[in-house]
Structure 1
Amino acid sequence: MYLSTTTAELRQELDQYQILDVRDAEDFANGHIQGAVNIPITELAEAYPKLDQTASYAIICYAGGRSEQASRFLGDKGYQVTNVMGGMGAWQGEIVN
């Protein structure tokens, strides 16, 4: 199970989450939320055991489709996850490279 949030809500609650960006490495390098960790969705099935199960994750991609898949996957594994609807395409906050 997972929750959902908007990018506007995430901006107000950034300190409550570890941001997990599931876009490919090239897209991540071109701009992401400060402090975000990049695990492309294609690598998530192998990499997820390295994630902290006590953390709360906000999962983001470009538009929300891949992050929804990743949120469902991690939620089923027992992680506390929130899908960011609209993704980086809707993000109005600071972006770093």
Structure 2
Amino acid sequence: MEDIEIITPEELNKKLEAGEKLELIDVREDEEVAQGMIPGAKHIRMGTIPENLHQFDKDTEYIFICRSGGRSHNVCYYLQDKGFKVRNMIGGMLEWTGEKQF
């Protein structure tokens, strides 16, 4: 298995502040997302990723986010195996210090 590319919360925040257009996918549960998401992130619960594959494009890189980085890592493995470009935000929302949208 290939390693999953990672991005730190700090690196991601810098990219967003620089105005980079990124595809962020938050795979947490509804009640977790209610506590705040990274602005611009799209919410697709981990358990519903397989039925939402049509929403992903193989030419686009996606950054996956969860609470601590574990679930998003699993989603990254799953999607990378299917030929998608993925990156995992390590540390998850527990380490996110940037702004949040509710």
Q: TM-score, normalised by structure 2?
A: 0.87
Aligned 1:1-97 pairs, distance under 5 A: 1=2, 2-14=4-16, 15-97=20-102
- Counting aligned pairs with the same residue, the percent is 36
Partner letter of residue 66 of structure 1? Answer: R
Query: Pairwise CA RMSD of aligned residues?
Result: 1.3
Q: Deviations over 1:28-52 (max 9, x none)?
A: 1220001100111011111122222
Looking at structure 2, the residues matched to 64 and 31 of structure 1 have their Cα atoms a distance apart, in angstroms, of 16
Q: Which runs of 4+ in 1 moved over 3 A?
A: none
Partner letter of residue 7 of structure 2? Answer: T
Stretch of structure 1 that moved more, 9-18 or 71-80:
9-18
Looking at structure 2, the residues matched to 64 and 95 of structure 1 have their Cα atoms a distance apart, in angstroms, of 17
Looking at structure 2, the residues matched to 90 and 60 of structure 1 have their Cα atoms a distance apart, in angstroms, of 11
Q: TM-score, normalised by structure 1?
A: 0.91
- Secondary structure (helix, strand or coil) at the match of 2:89 reads strand
Looking at structure 1, the residues matched to 22 and 58 of structure 2 have their Cα atoms a distance apart, in angstroms, of 12
In structure 1, stretches of 5+ residues that fail to align are none
- Secondary structure (helix, strand or coil) at the match of 1:54 reads coil
Alignment size in residue pairs: 97
Partner letter of residue 41 of structure 2? Answer: A
- Secondary structure (helix, strand or coil) at the match of 1:13 reads helix
